[in-house]
Amino acid sequence: GESVGLHLPTLSVQEGDNSIINCAYSNSASDYFIWYKQESGKGPQFIIDIRSNMDKRQGQRVTVLLNKTVKHLSLQIAATQPGDSAVYFCAESFIEIIFGKGTRLHILP
Amino acid sequence: EAQVTQNPRYLITVTGKKLTVTCSQNMNHEYMSWYRQDPGLGLRQIYYSMNVEVTDKGDVPEGYKVSRKEKRNFPLILESPSPNQTSLYFCASSLSGGRVTNEKLFFGSGTQLSVL
């Protein structure tokens, strides 16, 4: 079975608000984590990554938080825009990469 | 433009008719991999290759073959497709081996396969 999962299959957010997508992982030895964005009809695209020696990493409008104590990963998207509408999934890596099932982010006008 | 190119984007075939899905990357990546994506199951790895002439089974290799004769190409072969192989397939690559060095994967646009 999957060792990486997401708490919600669908998340609806008002345009302009911040989005928070959560992910739980099970392998405490995982030392590299990635968030991907998959738009309809396209392949997954890398958004941001974080290594286990960090607890926060920021990109352009996105922030990834890593809590190794509870094995939790989150992706925060600031000022959500219509173009952010997609499925987001996390991946954990230690020797092999395991992907979560994904959360669909739906933007409300 | 750096990319992973898969062909075809859509394919409808019948049970037992051999098919090949091509994958090519222009980034000189050593590592390439095939995944299938099914509703509720996420991405599952079929086969991967750490370098030319080196291929290994992933989590769901049954019914599939791959080859890595050249660095840039990694075709996926279904010798005798069955309906349970109807899925969305993605090829991916990374610089030197996502499994070992923890590098991000670059994905192709996907191939939607339907086996009737």
Residue-wise pLDDT for B37-94, tens only, equals: 998 888 999 999 999 999 999 999 999 999 999 999 999 999 999 999 999 999 999 9
- All residues of chain A having their beta carbon less than 8 Å from the beta carbon of residue B98 are 93, 97
- All residues of chain A having their beta carbon less than 8 Å from the beta carbon of residue B25 are none
| Residue to substitute from A51, A99, A104, interface B, most B β-carbons within 10 A | A99
R_g (Cα) of chain A, nearest Å: 13
Residue-wise pLDDT for A60-83, tens only, equals: 999 999 999 999 999 999 999 999
Rounded to 5 degrees, φ, ψ at B27 are -110, 10
Beta strands in B40-109 (DSSP E): 42-51, 54-57, 65-66, 76-78, 87-94, 106-107
CA A54 – CA A65 distance, rounded (Å):
9
pLDDT in the model for residue A37? 96
* CB pair distance less than 8 Å for B99 and A44: no
Q: Please state, as a whole number, how many other Cβ atoms lie within 10 Å of the Cβ of residue A36.
A: 25
* CB pair distance less than 8 Å for A43 and B107: yes
DSSP string, B61-87: -TT-EE--SSSSB--EEESS--GGG-E
Q: Report yes or no: B58 and B32 within 8 Å, Cβ to Cβ.
A: no
pLDDT in the model for residue B41? 84
Q: Is 60 exceeded by the pLDDT of residue A1?
A: no
